[in-house]
Amino acid sequence: MRKKSIQKMAFVDPYGKNVKHVKKFIYKIIDELLKKVSNAEKFPPLPKKIKNFDKFNLNDLPISESQILKQIKIIITNSMNASNPYYLGHMDSLPTTMSIVGDIICSTINNNMLSKETAPILIEIERKVTKNLANKFNLGQDSGGIMLSGGSLSNIQAIALARNRILGSFEKGLMGLKRKPYIFASKESHTSIQKAAMVLGLGTNSVVPIQTNKDGMIQISNLDKSIREKINNNGFPFCIVATAGTTITGSVDDLNEVSKIAHKYRLWMHTDAVYGGALIFSHKFKNKLNGIENSDSISFNPQKWLYITKTCSVLLLKNKKYLYSDFFTPLPYVKKNKDEYHEGEITLQGSRYPDILKLWLSLQHLGNFSYSEIIEDTIKYTHLLKKKLLEINNIKIACEPQMNIICFRYETRNKNQEENDLINLNFQKFLFNKHNIFFSIVKYNSVKWLRAVLLNPFFNLRHIKKICTSISEFTKENKTLKSIKFND
C-alpha cells in the first residue's frame, strides 16, 4: 500500500497505528448524531428545505477529515428526524439502541451472510432466531426462515416459492403452462405483490385485486367468487396473499377465513405481515393474527414495529424444506459438508448484510415483555387520538383503526370531493409548516386523507394535545380536549 497517496485514516490500520485518530473522529460523529436524536423535538420532523446540496459532487482528489465532518453535519441536519414524536407520516421510527450498536458491529466486522465461511457465528444466530420466530407464529415443527433486505424482497421470494412449488416452474419456467396463473390479493395489498408478479414473469395483470369491506379487510365472498371465475375461465389460481396490516389503514384480513379458501382450492397462502406481524409479541392483541399459523409463508419486518434499524425483514415458511427443493441454487465457490446448505443458495440475495445481529441484540435487550408493553401503548394512544379527533367538528376518519394507524380528514358538506381534497392538502401543509407536525397524505377509497402512524414509543398525551389544538386552530374549532387530563 502506497501510504503517501492514501489518506492515513482511509482504513483502520490492522496493526493499530491510527486507532487514536479513528476513535477521535468516530466520537465526533457520535456526538453530532446524539446532539440531534437526544433533542429530537427541537428539530423538525423533516427539513423544510435541503441546503448546501451543491457540495456533494464526487472528487478526484481526497479531502480532509474535517471537510468530511462538515458534510456529515449537513447530512444529519437535512435528514428525516424519526426520533421526533411528531414524525407520524410513515412506518419509520427511532431505532432501538441495541440495533444501532448492532449496525456499528456489523459494519466494522463486515461479515457476509452468504455462508459459514463468511459469517460463521452470525449464520448460526440467524438460523436459531428465524426458527424461534416461526415457532412464535405457530408454523409447526418443520418451519424455519431466512432474512432478506426489506419486505418487498421477502414478498417476492415467497411468491417465487409458491410459483415454483404449485406451478412446477423451478426448471422449466412458465412457457409450458396451458392456463394463465393468478394471484389473489386485497386491493389494499402492498405494491410489492405486483412487483413480484412482474419480475417473476407472471405479469402484473396476474394479480387479481379483491374488494375490501368498510374496515379495509378483504371480502371473503368476493375472494371465493373471483377464484371460481378464474377456474371456470381456464385460469390457474395458485396463491392467495393475505395482509396483516395494510400500508394505508393498518387493516388485518380475516386470516382464518382466508386460510379456509386457500385450503378449499389448494392454493399457497402467503401472509404479508410486514407491518402487523409485530402483534405476535403483544399478549393483548396477538389474537388479531389468529389464522396466521395456517400460512405457507409469512413476511415480517422487524424494522418497523420492533424498531430495528433498516433494513431487517424475515421470510418464514411452514415447511423450510421448500427452500431446498424449490429455490436451491448451488454455490460452486464455497466449501460445505454433505447435506449442508448455505444461506446464499436458498435466498434471493447472494451477499447479505448481517441484519440478524441488530434483531437478536434488541430481542435480548428488550425481551417479549417490553415489546408487548410498547406495542400495546401505541395502540392505546391511537384510540385516544381517534376519540379526540372525532370531537373536532368536520373531522372524519377513514375506518376504525385496528392497530396504531389512523387516517383522518377535514371535510365540509358544502364542498365537493375535489375541493375537500385540496383543503386537506393545505391542512397537511399547515400542520407541518406552522406546528412541525408531519402526517403523510394517502389516497383511500378515492379521496385524500392525512395518515398518522403512532410508532414512536415516546408519543404520549402531550403530543395528542398539541395535535388536536393545532387541528382546532386550522378548523377554528376550540372546544376539544376538555375531558382529558394531560399527564402520563
**pLDDT one digit per residue (tens) for the chain, 488 residues:** 555 556 788 999 999 999 999 999 999 999 999 999 999 999 999 998 877 667 677 888 888 999 999 999 999 999 999 999 999 999 999 999 999 999 999 999 999 999 999 999 999 999 999 999 999 999 999 999 999 999 999 999 999 999 999 999 998 889 889 999 999 999 999 999 999 999 999 999 999 999 999 999 999 999 999 999 999 999 999 999 999 999 999 999 999 999 999 999 999 999 999 999 999 999 999 999 999 999 999 999 999 999 999 999 999 999 999 999 999 998 888 877 777 789 999 999 999 999 999 999 999 999 999 999 999 999 999 999 999 999 999 999 999 999 999 999 999 888 999 999 999 999 999 999 999 999 999 999 999 999 999 999 999 999 999 999 999 999 874 344 444 454 44
User: Looking at this protein, which amino acid is placed at residue 450?
Assistant: L
Last residue of a domain, one of 362, 390, 421: 362
459 located within any domain = yes
Within 13 A of 299's CA, how many CA atoms are on the CB side?
30
427 DSSP assignment? H
Residues 284 and 406 in one domain: no
What CATH number has the domain bearing residue 258? 3.40.640.10
480 located within any domain = no
**Which among 285, 277, 273 has a CA at the least distance from the CA of 155?**
273
486 located within any domain = no
The Cα-based distances of 25 to 13, 56, 67 in angstroms read: 14, 20, 12
Residues 371 and 358 in one domain: no
Residues 253 and 163 in one domain: yes
Residues 340 and 406 in one domain: no
Q: Is 32 helix (H, G, I), strand (E, B) or coil?
A: helix
**Which among 248, 299, 239 has a CA at the least distance from the CA of 269?**
239
Residues 317 and 220 in one domain: yes
Residues with Cβ < 8 Å from 50, sequence gap 6 or more? 78
Residues 203 and 246 in one domain: yes
The residue assigned the cell 419480475 is: 199
Residues 325 and 240 in one domain: yes
Residues 358 and 462 in one domain: no
17 DSSP assignment? T
Find out whether 262 and 298 touch, Cβ atoms under 8 Å.
no
The residue assigned the cell 405481515 is: 273
Residue 127, H or E segment: helix 120-136
Query: Cα dihedral angle (424, 444, 380, 376), rounded to 10 degrees?
Result: -140
Residues 57 and 145 in one domain: no
Residues 149 and 297 in one domain: yes
90 located within any domain = no
Q: Which three cell numbers stand for residue 432?
A: 407541518
- Give residue 299's domain range: 104-362
Positive/negative CA dihedral, 270, 273, 279, 280: positive
Residues with Cβ < 8 Å from 380, sequence gap 6 or more? none
